[in-house]
Structure 1
Amino acid sequence: MSQYKTSPLFTEAERLALQYTDAITFTDQDVDDELFAELRKHYTDDQLVELTAVIAWENFSSKFNRALRVTSQGFYKQS
């Protein structure tokens, strides 16, 4: 996933969604007007709301689980 910006495996819309995820997730980044304008070329308002909700939920779940020491279900293995 670290190479999503240059990977041929993702469409432009998917790369933008991943960039949006990074911008929401990492505190040193922000969703700037340019990124949001690019997203709107590929996604409707309803889709953007849903995408944002899913990203926010996953971030919440990650923080919640870490704080309460909920162990991984094995879907992701850190290298």
Structure 2
Amino acid sequence: MRLLRHHAPKLAVQGVSEEGAARLVDYKDHPELDELDKLVVEYSIAVTNNWNKTRDEVFVRLRAHFSEAQLVELTWRIALCGAFNRFNDILQLEVEQGVPHSEAAE
């Protein structure tokens, strides 16, 4: 996934190894993520892939950690990243050197 490779350096600053970044979508038993990190990854996947199936209980858990304004910003950032990735992939644009195209774009 392009998004994960793109964010690997930023994740490294947060203590997530390169290997940990590569398996970020396997968040449920990820040893490098705390419970809040896992919740944010779960929500990111929901926004990206399951937006029409997201249940209220996810928002209950998110609201225990984030204000409404923070939740709106988090959602907006996730949605924008997804939109940029889809845009770049469909047009087969290489945005950064060293970040290969996703399989869908090749």
- TM over 0.5, yes or no? yes
Deviations 1:33-79 (A, max 9, x none): 0111111111111111111011000110011111222015224687x
When structure 1 is superposed on structure 2, of 10-19 and 67-76 the one drifting more is: 67-76
- Structure 1 spans left out of the alignment, 5+ residues: none
What is residue 11 of structure 1 aligned with on the other side?
34
The percent of aligned pairs where both chains have the same amino acid is 33
Q: What is the CA–CA distance in structure 2 between the aligned matches of 1:24 and 1:17, rounded to whole Å?
A: 10
SS of equivalent to 1:5: helix
What residue is the counterpart of 1:59 in the other structure? 82
- 1:45 counterpart residue number: 68
Please give the per-residue CA displacement for 1:6-25, whole angstroms capped at 9, x wherever unaligned: 12321211111100011111
Question: Does the aligned pair in 2 maintain the 1:22–1:29 contact within 8 Å?
Answer: no
What RMSD, in angstroms, separates the aligned Cα atoms of the two structures?
2.2
**TM-score of the two chains, using structure 2 as the length reference:** 0.63
Gapped runs of 5+ residues in structure 2?
A: 1-23
Over 3 Å counting, the alpha-carbon distance change for 1:27 and 1:3 in structure 2 is closer
User: Greater helix share, 1 or 2?
Assistant: 2
Instruction: Give the drift of 1:28.
Output: 7.8
Which segments of structure 1 move beyond 6 Å, counting only runs of 4 or more?
Answer: none
- TM-score (normalised: structure 1): 0.81
Higher relative contact order (CA 8 A, sep 6+): 2
